[in-house]
Amino acid sequence: MNDPATEISPPMRDLCAYLADALSRPVPDEVAEKGKQHLLDTIAAMVSGSRLHPGEMTLRYAATLGGTEEAVVVGSRIMTTAVNAALANGMLSHADETDDSHKASRSHLGCGVVPAALAMAEREQASGEALLRSVVLGYDIGARISFSLDTHRFYDAGHSTHTFAPLFGAAASAAVLARLNADQMRWMLSYTAQQASGVNCWQRDLDHIEKAFDFGGMAGRNGVTSATMVQCGFTGVDDVFSGPRNFFFAFSDNPKLEELTDGLGTRFEVMLTNIKKWSVGSPIQAPLDCIEAILAKNEVVPESVDRVSLRLSDLEHSVVDNRHMPDICIQHMVAIMLLDGTVSFASSHDEARMDDPAVKAMRDRIELIAQSDRERRTAEVEIRMTDGRSLTETQDAVRGTPDNPMERAEVDRKAHDLMAPILGNDRSRSLIDQIWSIEALDNARALQPLLIA
């Protein structure tokens, strides 16, 4: 009779076989293109994040770590271990609200997956093709872990989908670049499960420093740790997802193990991940889209605005309601949009304008309304004018979402806007072009001179 403690469940067996074969499996052209966009978008977030307050704290800490020079901390001259680089770059990726997000899994996958994949690719001197495939895979695994935990129920219980999903995505990306076999993948997943943690009290973090660690840094660090320990010879539990006192027993009262492998190889989660057009919190994207559309159709000057009504889902309005940071304060960002006619990375991070009398006067005219029947990430904006007109726009498919994707040129412009002030125009252009042709790169370490500032 088989010992249930050592039996391998079909979901675990199938998942690990898929992981072990990932680098030899081409991805469809449209998936590769989307993967490049998210690789570039996340690297750009690292660069811009390196000069924000959470990024400055991260670089200060990373400078104390030392270690074998395997990978670069982006936006600095710090070379350190892949584990440390994944930690630092993960925090830089989510130093603010510039990085991508995956609605269905309630997570920001890129800020965990890309730093882990990049650090591991540098350590292993992997090709650009391998780096790209590992990134695409990381999105697939991270999202499916969240689904298997029953995403919304798991989140409502107080657990953080924003830490669990990118952790497993990061571990998968690092593990395939470590070229682990199927047995080693099972042990890697066990070490990853042992490091899985996170409670969604991160919502109370006022400085975005702990949040940067919770969303990106912890995921990148722990994922690379799991992969490199097993690569070094560590063994572990054969199937952490089934058997006595397993991962799901600990974390979910409604596990869905079939979600671990559902659609693998046919449904690519990177295709279902959002890239933000605006460098602001996700719930603010739809209102800014609405105002952009209103301004394109109507002549609106600040003095002509009487009142503004913003209607959001009651599941997310509190995340952005009168927050003290500019890029996650919906009233502030809408005021900036109405005063400037657009929003840039610079304007969304200009803390001094929080005290600007003109901005404060516009904010006083803005009302946020929570609606229980409205979907998350949608909005209705009504601008009532002093002449009696009412200008209304709705957005049910935010620019950058799967139903309204950004084009390569838009992602290119966003990345350059984020990186050029730090890396310079020429180096930013070279880095962007290198990412667009990442398949031609023989060794990921060739990116290092472009990432250092």
Per residue in 101-120, pLDDT tens?
999 999 999 999 999 999 99
Partner residues linked to 370 by β-bridges? 312
Q: At residue 9, does pLDDT exceed 70?
A: yes
At 106-155, the pLDDT tens digits run 999 999 999 999 999 999 999 999 999 999 999 999 999 999 999 999 99
The count of other CB atoms within 10 Å of the CB of residue 234 is 14
Q: At residue 3, does pLDDT exceed 90?
A: no
Rounded Cα gap, residues 303 and 311, in angstroms: 22
Rounded Cα gap, residues 387 and 170, in angstroms: 54
Split at pLDDT 50, 70, 90, the class of 219 is very high
Rounded Cα gap, residues 237 and 415, in angstroms: 42
Split at pLDDT 50, 70, 90, the class of 6 is low
Percentage with pLDDT > 90 across the chain? 95
Split at pLDDT 50, 70, 90, the class of 383 is very high
What pLDDT does residue 206 have?
A: 86
| Residue that is written with structure tokens 């074998």 in the block | 68
What pLDDT does residue 7 have?
A: 84
Mean pLDDT, rounded, for 176-205? 96
- What CATH number does domain 10-277+408-451 carry, 1.10.4100.10, 1.10.287.3240, 2.120.10.30, 1.10.340.30? 1.10.4100.10
Q: Phi then psi for 380, rounded to 5 degrees?
A: -130, 130
What pLDDT does residue 2 have?
A: 45
Mean pLDDT, rounded, for 194-202? 95
Supply the pTM of this predicted model.
0.93
User: Which pair of structure tokens corresponds to residue 298?
Assistant: 């109507």
In the chain, where are the structural domains located?
10-277+408-451, 282-395
Rounded Cα gap, residues 433 and 168, in angstroms: 29
What pLDDT does residue 211 have?
A: 96
Q: Does domain 282-395 correspond to CATH entry 3.40.640.10?
A: no
